[in-house]
Amino acid sequence: MVSISGSKKLKRQMAPQFWGIARKDKRFVVTVRPGPHKKNQAIPTAVFLRDTLKIVTSLREAKTVIYSGKVKIDGMVRKSLHHGIGLMDVIELENVKDVYRMVPTEDKMLKPIKINESEKSKKLVSVKSKTTVNKGKMQIGFSDGRSIISDTKVSVGDTCLIQIPEVKIIEVIKLEVGSQGLVTRGNNVGQVGSIETVEEGTFILPKRVILTLEGRKIEIPADIIMPVGKGEPVIQLK
């Protein structure tokens, strides 16, 4: 069997704060392996069960739950302790009635919220890339590592509401004036405001957005803004 590259453990002192783990416990903690989300923007499945939801009390119990196929992420069973759970991922647990979605809040970059059963097949993803393929269709790359071939008109920076696990585009939310933008990282993480202006990038400056948050206007990089709807977010975010 081919081994997967990367370390399986991380010093607790080096773990991101949004993991919510105890710093003065054992020296090491399991870490995120290569997958759909960046290492510093995701929580390992084992840590999520033990330290975030606190539905198990030890790594041994987390292993039993995960290896038994009792954890679904975006509708698919995941049997790895190190699988990264990231932005907008939907988590279901066998014999647990609650369904969770990972969202940014005003105190954490990632935090699980309980969502309605009717929303567990819906997910917001940012468009990170698009490439022309055969017969004028586009291969669209999303923020969670998925890709789809479609003739849907989208631009990098837009958000797609997709159906999971099939990966079918339900709706496109444009990164444009009038859309509601969710801040996914930084000092204003978790806040939603109205997009006033979208300024194209230059040789020196990245693409930027002027966002109105609680009566104040801020300029923020476009890559940490996720359009989530026109009037109200198209899915539950709180």
What CATH number did the domain enclosing 105 receive?
A: 3.10.290.10
Count of structural domains, the chain: 3
- Mean pLDDT computed over every residue of the chain: 88
Q: How many CA atoms lie less than 13 Å away from 53 in the CB half-sphere?
A: 24
Please indicate, yes or no, whether residues 67 and 83 belong to a single structural domain of this protein.
Answer: yes
Please indicate, yes or no, whether residues 52 and 84 belong to a single structural domain of this protein.
Answer: yes
**Phi and psi at residue 156, to the nearest 5°:** -60, 130
pLDDT per residue as tens digits for the range 96-152: 999 999 999 888 889 999 999 999 999 999 999 999 887 778 899 999 989 999 888
Please indicate, yes or no, whether residues 76 and 153 belong to a single structural domain of this protein.
Answer: no
Cis-peptide into 16, omega within 30 deg: no
| pLDDT surpasses 80 at 16 | no
> In the block, which residue shows the tokens 């932005």?
87
Assess if residue 1 is contained within a domain.
no
* 75: containing domain: 9-117
Residues 131-159: b if buried by 16+ CB within 10 A, e if exposed: eeeeeeebebbbbbebebebeeebeebbb
